[in-house]
Structure 1
Amino acid sequence: MKVVKSNTLQDTLKRNPHLKIYLDELKRREGVVPTFVPALSRDMKALPRPNLIYPVGDPIFIHIYTDRRGEGRYIAIEPRLTPDEEPKYRALMDKMLEIAPNEKTPEDDEELEKLIDVLIGKVVEIVPKKEHFGEKRKLFRLGFEKVRLTRDEVYKFRYLIKRDVIGVGPLEPLIRDPYIEDIHVIGPKNVHIVHKIFDMLPTNIDFKDDLYMAEFLKNLGERIGRPVSERNPIVDGTLPDGSRINIIYSPDVSLKGSSFTIRKFTAIPISITQLINWGTLSAEIAAYLWLCLEYGMSIWVSGETASGKTTTLNAMIPFIKPQSKIYTAEDTPEVQVPHSVWQQLCTRERGSEGKVDLFDLLKAALRSRPNYIIVGEVRGREGAVAFQAMQTGHPVLSTFHAGSVKKLIQRLTGEPINVPITFIDNLNVVLIQQAIYKKGQFLRRCLVVEEIEGYYEEIGGVVTRTVFEWDSVTDRHNFRGLYNSYILENKIAQTAGFEDPRQIYE
């Protein structure tokens, strides 16, 4: 769908009469006028009672405010049908469907969008003022074939048709909003989002009823190649924009109604400098990671759900030498690689050709001679293959679900991954990340960077060394690895040709 960016409020109101109607009603009801801002900034989080409207591409606008109870609200403002317009909209759809078989079948969304414009042009007659549908029905009986609409009605109906046919229906405002991280839907009336600045907020998005939502999820599942049904109620997939979705369809399984979660895709990866500015990690940690990747170390980013693991993984990938061949294996495509030689592979859940899982993709990686293997997330038996790859000289980057290095080792050596504990030192560096609340603010922090030295039989365990540690009081990352870094002294310094390994700290 074509997106028109808004500029000044005056120009915006001229193009979007529905926004003026919303603002007038808001002023009448609440007695306040929101501040119109073209974009948000992170310092807006400090506003005691935010009341902001920002554009996400005409004709959609977002209103974030604090209500009288002191609770945050997220309102998507878009054209909506009035009761008088609903029969006109249905008549327009009927006429378009009537003549659509005579047109060439579109091969992609761009052609489909053009076809919608063509069909509307053929079945609509522009009139200067609104007509009641009863008047129009009389005109139909007299032989008029076109639907008589005003320009404002055509503008509104065209948006709604494209939103539902090409876009993602009621979710379109949330998908367009670049400030949303996650979307959580539990039943038709319970839609929340996690905002990058204002955290978790309830929305005004409404799926009408269980029947409408069930039909919506069926259609969405078909579009993304992951059909849902009573027999197959739980699916994972990727939306057209790259966002990751998990659907739990059956009310027998999801007791409060069908539910789904969307992890938004960021078209432009967050850079390492942005992570430094946000305090997720420090410039010293970034320099350390750069050295490690320059010399072929295997690094995993571990932590709990929504701790920013994939974001950090993507931010460090540009540190890999640009002439390297990168091989990525994922369930859903989230890893973003800037290198020209990038072999991107994704699992296939089912189909007539057969299932392909991460285990299969990682076995294939060993025959592809990559310089770096990147696994979106290690969960199961593919972890053992990842360690085999590291043993054969293929460094591996990945994310993992574990809140500490100790728990990471426990998971790796247990079912279903079953990596022998003596192989653990093939993994060189682990970053532990966590989402935290500090002074009422939602933050992501790299808690610790640890090096894995190896398993020592005499102590019956794995020795690790902490090289960076986050201080929660000062919100700073302290370097603990001075003259104590196993990776810098015993791996990188030797490869770099230092006579004295400790010269690497200079």
Structure 2
Amino acid sequence: MNLKEAAANNPHLSRYVAEFTRKSGKAPVFYASLSKEMGDIEFINIIYPVGDPIFIHVFGAKENRKYHTIEPKLNSVEKIKYKKLLSIILEKAIQEPVPSDDTELRQTIIKLVDKNTSSNTSFLNRGQNKVQINQNEKKKVIYFIDRDIIGNSILEPIMRDPYIEDVHSIGANNIFLIHKVFDLIETDIRFGDETHLSNFLRNMSERIDRPVSEAKPIVDASMPDGSRINIIFSNDISRRGASFTIRKFQDTPSSIIQLIKWGTISTEIAAYLWLCLEYGMSAFVCGETASGKTTALNAAMAFINPASKIFTAEDTAEVKPPHRVWQQLLTRESGPAESRVEMFSLLKAALRSRPDYIIVGEIRGEEGSVAFQAMQTGHSVMATFHASSVKKMIQRFTGNPINVPVTFIDNLNICIILQAAYVKGKFLRKCTAIEELVGYSQEAGGVITRAVFEWNPSTDVHLFRGLNNSYILENKIAEKAGYLDKREIYEEMFLRARILDEMVTRDIVEYDKVLEIISSYYSKGMDGLPFSI
């Protein structure tokens, strides 16, 4: 698709481009997709699609970029017709069968619009209560009804944009985004006033079954698409007005090759993780807020043997293992106290099911002790955890409220540390270290750890400190793999690094394609690769 084709099908886009070009003297350039390198361009002026009829326009100098949404607009007459049709649909929808999903609801809306509109010249057909509307108006009105009933109201363009990570709104007219290409950027979306913002937050919170109010002003929950929303409703608490933050859900996880290309990890780190997860090592992905823990966890799970039985336990559905045998467990935080299900209970239930891997979306409290019990009884566990170093991770796990005995900590095999960092003026997520937990030493008075990978920020290089010195590779994995000479395990690691390097070179980035190659290697070895090494 190019701009000419897109504009031909979307008159509102054509009008927007013409008006912007007239005012600025610079016509936007159309891109069907974006690349990470675009973030380095000093002055940007691009339009990209996020699904008809919505387009996004990003423009401006690097330090002051703007994010404008382009969607159809209703004129004054069309707004009257929209309100009339919306009222009719809300009134008559109760007579229709209850839809089982959004697709059926969308079909019901279209059916009701068709039944209650007419192309006759009179505005309202007498006796029939039908709204007169032409095809172009009908298309726009259906879009807005769909957007406001099924979608996300004025946030719909943002929620459709695959390049948005987080949405931050403070008050009615300050909405900022974390963009995967352009980092922090301001939008043109406005609620207008506190009343409209409050109505939006009330409606959204009721849709997700966590109604917000002055009495219960803070809500943290999942949106219908799986994104995470945190609402702070009361002006007494949020002095600059009601606010919310949305952490967007990715339909398809980022691949391990994507993480390598971003510089988050190296191919050697990925190869090391491949061996660790193939042989059932327990691993925690640790870091502070927005360091990319869940992204890394999802990417790394592709390395777990495809034949494994996976159990996931989460508050919000963010973990997406690609395995056929996957039991997805979620906490239930609403409803009567006796019907609620906490993470602690989910993990206890998972233990009884004998999974190969238990994946915990995020450990926050006493469920951490159950995770270590699982490891002690031979279950492999992966999880994310808020801690900026292995030392702080151990401190938090051995303190309140988790209270894991320090002598149990070495049931965990590796700790992956992530950090959000600015490197040469760019916001990046980096794996700053991977540490192996060797064991508890009474003489040392604590847990002995060994750094196998470290990130050098001055050179932006991940250093492999574990060559011929990795406790996990030599004493855990090599033994399981049956190597007589334990150090041959490094050759296997470097072989897998070359496989990953070849995927990087060939730009094999899509998650499904990366997964297919890894799965084929599991079943056929080197013969299963689509290239030679």
Give the TM-score normalised by the residue count of structure 1: 0.92
Report sequence identity in percent: 58
Taking structure 1 as reference, are residues 103 and 450 closer, same or farther at Cα in structure 2, changes over 3 Å only?
A: closer
- Partner of residue 82 from structure 1, selected from 75, 78, 98: 75
Asked if residue 398 in structure 1 is aligned to residue 392 in structure 2, the reply is: no
Q: Does the alignment pair 1:62 with 2:56? A: yes
Which residue is equivalent to 1:117? 110
Structure 1 residue 297: Cα displacement: 0.9
Worse-superposed segment, 399-408 or 90-99: 90-99
Confirm whether residue 486 of structure 1 aligns to residue 486 of structure 2: no
- Counterpart of 1:462? 447
3-state SS of 2:421 partner: strand
By how many angstroms is 1:363 displaced? Answer: 1.4
Q: 2:459: which partner in 1?
A: 474
Give, in angstroms, the shift of residue 253 of structure 1: 2.1
SS of the equivalent of 1:50 reads strand
Could you tell me how far apart the structure 1 residues matched to 2:36 and 2:182 are? 9
TM-fit CA distance, 1:105: 4.0
Aligned to 2:313: 329
2-side partners of 1:407 and 1:99: how far apart?
Answer: 58
Moved more, 387-396 or 144-153: 144-153
Distance in 2 (CA, whole Å) between partners of 1:317 and 1:200 is 29
Q: Give secondary structure in 1 for the equivalent of 2:191.
A: coil
Q: How many residues align?
A: 490
Between 90-99 and 229-238, report the one with greater CA deviation: 90-99
Q: CA deviation at 1:326?
A: 0.8
My pick for the range that moved more, 283-292 or 53-62, is: 283-292
Residue 15 (1) aligns with residue 9 (2): yes
Larger helix proportion, structure 1 or 2? 2
Higher mean alpha-carbon deviation, 226-235 vs 386-395, is at 226-235
- State the AA in 2 paired with 1:467: V
Higher relative contact order (CA 8 A, sep 6+): 2
Rounded Cα–Cα distance in structure 1 between residues aligned with 2:18 and 2:347: 58
The answer as to whether partners of 2:59 and 2:66 remain within 8 angstroms in 1 is yes
The worse-fitting range, judged by mean Cα deviation, of 424-433 and 96-105 is 96-105
Larger CA deviation: 78-87 vs 53-62? 78-87
2:106 aligned partner, one-letter code:
E
Alignment of 1:28-427 (within 5 A): 28-66=22-60, 71-97=64-90, 99-126=92-119, 136=123, 145-352=129-336, 353-427=338-412
CA contact 1:453–1:486 (8 Å) conserved in 2? yes
Distance apart, 1:250 and its partner CA:
2.2
Give a deviation string over 1:276-327, Cα, whole Å, max 9, x none. 1211111111111111112211111111111111111111112111221111
Deviates further, 281-290 or 144-153: 144-153
What code does the residue aligned with 2:187 have? T
Q: Distance in 1 between matches of 2:95 and 2:345?
A: 46
Report Cα offsets for 1:329-371 as digits up to 9, x if no partner. Answer: 1010111011111111000113135221111111112211111
Cα separation, 2, equivalents of 1:122 and 1:359? 51
SS in 2 for 1:393: coil
AA paired with 1:491? K
- CA distances 1:464-506 after superposition (whole Å, capped 9, x unpaired): 1111111222222111011211111221222223333233234
Q: Which moved more, 1:421-430 or 1:490-499?
A: 490-499
Match of 2:407, SS? helix
Could you list the per-position Cα deviations for residues 430-472 of structure 1 after superposition, in whole angstroms to 9, with x for gaps in the alignment? 1111111112211111011110112211121221111111122
Corresponding position of 1:4: none
What do the CA deviations read for 1:224-273 (whole angstroms, capped 9, x no partner)? 22222223222222222221111222222222222111111111111111
Q: Secondary structure of the residue that 1:318 maps to in structure 2?
A: helix
Q: What 5-or-longer segments of structure 2 have no aligned partner?
A: 492-533
CA 1:155–1:364 in structure 2 vs 1: closer, same or farther (change >3 Å)? same
1:64-104 CA deviation, whole Å, 9 max, x = no partner?
0116x951100011112233432232233334445545544
The Cα shift of 1:152 comes to: 2.2
CA contact (8 A) 2:55 2:71 kept: yes
Unaligned runs of 5+ in 1: 1-6, 129-134
Aligned equivalents of 1:345, 1:496: Cα separation in 2: 32
Alpha-carbon distance between aligned partners in 1 of 2:258 and 2:130, rounded to the nearest angstrom: 54
Distance 1:99 1:498, change over 3 A: closer
Amino acid of the residue matched to residue 34 of structure 1?
P
Instruction: Write the distance in 2 (CA, Å) between the matches of 1:358 and 1:101.
Output: 37
**1:33-65: CA deviation from partner (whole Å, max 9, x where unpaired):** 110111111121121101100010111000001
User: Bigger shift: 74-83 or 491-500?
Assistant: 491-500
Instruction: Report the secondary structure of 1:88's partner residue.
Output: helix
How far apart are residue 203 of structure 1 and its match?
0.5
2:427 corresponds to: 442
